[in-house]
C-alpha cells in the first residue's frame, strides 16, 4: 500500500480517471472528434472514424496526428471537440472528500485542454483542490506517453519525482512517470484499449475504484 505521508504532489489524469469511463463523457468528445474529421476532410462517418483511430494509434492523440500530417490548428480543434454538454454531470461528493484528505499539492495532467478540464472539475466539485492543470497546450501539443512533457511538468512546478504519485486510466502513460521516479497508480476497469502495459513493472499500484483507493490510504491526521 502506498504511504501517503511520503507524497508531496498528486498528479491526476482527467478523462476516465476523475470520472468513470461509464459516464460516457469521453465518448462525447470522441463523437465530436469524428465530426471534426468528417467536416475537415469531407468524409463519411466510417472513413472519418477510421482516420481518427489511425491517428490516435500512431500518434497518441488524434490531434497530434492531424497536426503532424495535416497541419491543422490545435486551438481550433480543441475548442470544437470539447464543445460538449456536461449539464448531466453530478457532483461527486465522495471523491471530493477523498481528495480533500490528501496531503500536499494536486495537479491535473491531461491530454485535453484547460477549459475542458476546468468545466469537468467544476461539475464534479473538485476544482478547488487542484493547484493547476497541465494540458496538451502546455505540453507543446505533445501527448502522453512521450516523455518530454513529463519532464516539462516536473520543471514547471519544481517537483521532486520521488515524492510524486501519478494516477492514470491508461497504463502505458505511467511508463515515463515511473522512469522519472514517481509512484504510479493504474485505474483499472476502464476500457480495453487503456489496458496496454498494465502488466509492466512501471505500474506500481492498481485501483479498481479511485475513491475507494484514496480512502484506503493512510494519511497524516493534519491533512
Per-residue pLDDT, 222: 54
Query: Is residue 59 within 8 Å of residue 73, measured between CB atoms?
Result: no
Q: What is the pairing mode between strands 205-207 and 105-109?
A: unpaired
Asked if residues 158 and 3 have their Cβ atoms less than 8 Å apart, the reply is: no
User: What confidence score (pLDDT) does residue 190 get?
Assistant: 63
Strands laid side by side in the 205-207 sheet: 132-134, 105-109, 9-12, 164-168, 183-187, 205-207
Which pLDDT does position 24 carry in this prediction? 83
Helix axes 25-41, 62-70, angle to 10 degrees: 20
| pLDDT score at 223 | 45
Low-confidence residues in the chain, pLDDT < 70: 190-191, 221-223
pLDDT at position 63 is 95
CA distance 15 to 133: 13
- Residue 53 DSSP SS3: helix
Give the single-character DSSP code of 193: G
Residue 151, C-alpha cell as written in the block: 519532464
Mean pLDDT over the full length of the chain: 93
H or E segment at 211? helix 210-215
Is pTM beyond 0.85? Reply is yes
For residue 2, give the nearest of 223, 217, 220, 222 by alpha carbon. Answer: 217
pLDDT reported for residue 19: 87
Amino acid at each position: 500500500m502506498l504511504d501517503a505521508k511520503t507524497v508531496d504532489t498528486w498528479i491526476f489524469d482527467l478523462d476516465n480517471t476523475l470520472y468513470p469511463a461509464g459516464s460516457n463523457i469521453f465518448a462525447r468528445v470522441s463523437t465530436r472528434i469524428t465530426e471534426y474529421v468528417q467536416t475537415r476532410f469531407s468524409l463519411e462517418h466510417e472513413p472519418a472514424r477510421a482516420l481518427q483511430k489511425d491517428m490516435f494509434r500512431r500518434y497518441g492523440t488524434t490531434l497530434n496526428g492531424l497536426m503532424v500530417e495535416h497541419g491543422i490548428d490545435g486551438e481550433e480543434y480543441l475548442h470544437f471537440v470539447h464543445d460538449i454538454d456536461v449539464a448531466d454531470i453530478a457532483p461527486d461528493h465522495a471523491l471530493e472528500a477523498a481528495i480533500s484528505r490528501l496531503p500536499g499539492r494536486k495537479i491535473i495532467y491531461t491530454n485535453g485542454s484547460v477549459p475542458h478540464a476546468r468545466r469537468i472539475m467544476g461539475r464534479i466539485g473538485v476544482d478547488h483542490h487542484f493547484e493547476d492543470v497541465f494540458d496538451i497546450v502546455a505540453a507543446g501539443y505533445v501527448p502522453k506517453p512521450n516523455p518530454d512533457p513529463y519532464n516539462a511538468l516536473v520543471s514547471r512546478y519544481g517537483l521532486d519525482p520521488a515524492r510524486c504519485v501519478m494516477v492514470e486510466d491508461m497504463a502505458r502513460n505511467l511508463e515515463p512517470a515511473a522512469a522519472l521516479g514517481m509512484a504510479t497508480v493504474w485505474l483499472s476497469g476502464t476500457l480495453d484499449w487503456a489496458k496496454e502495459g498494465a502488466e509492466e513493472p512501471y505500474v506500481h499500484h492498481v485501483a479498481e475504484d479511485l475513491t475507494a483507493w484514496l480512502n484506503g490510504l493512510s494519511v497524516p491526521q493534519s491533512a
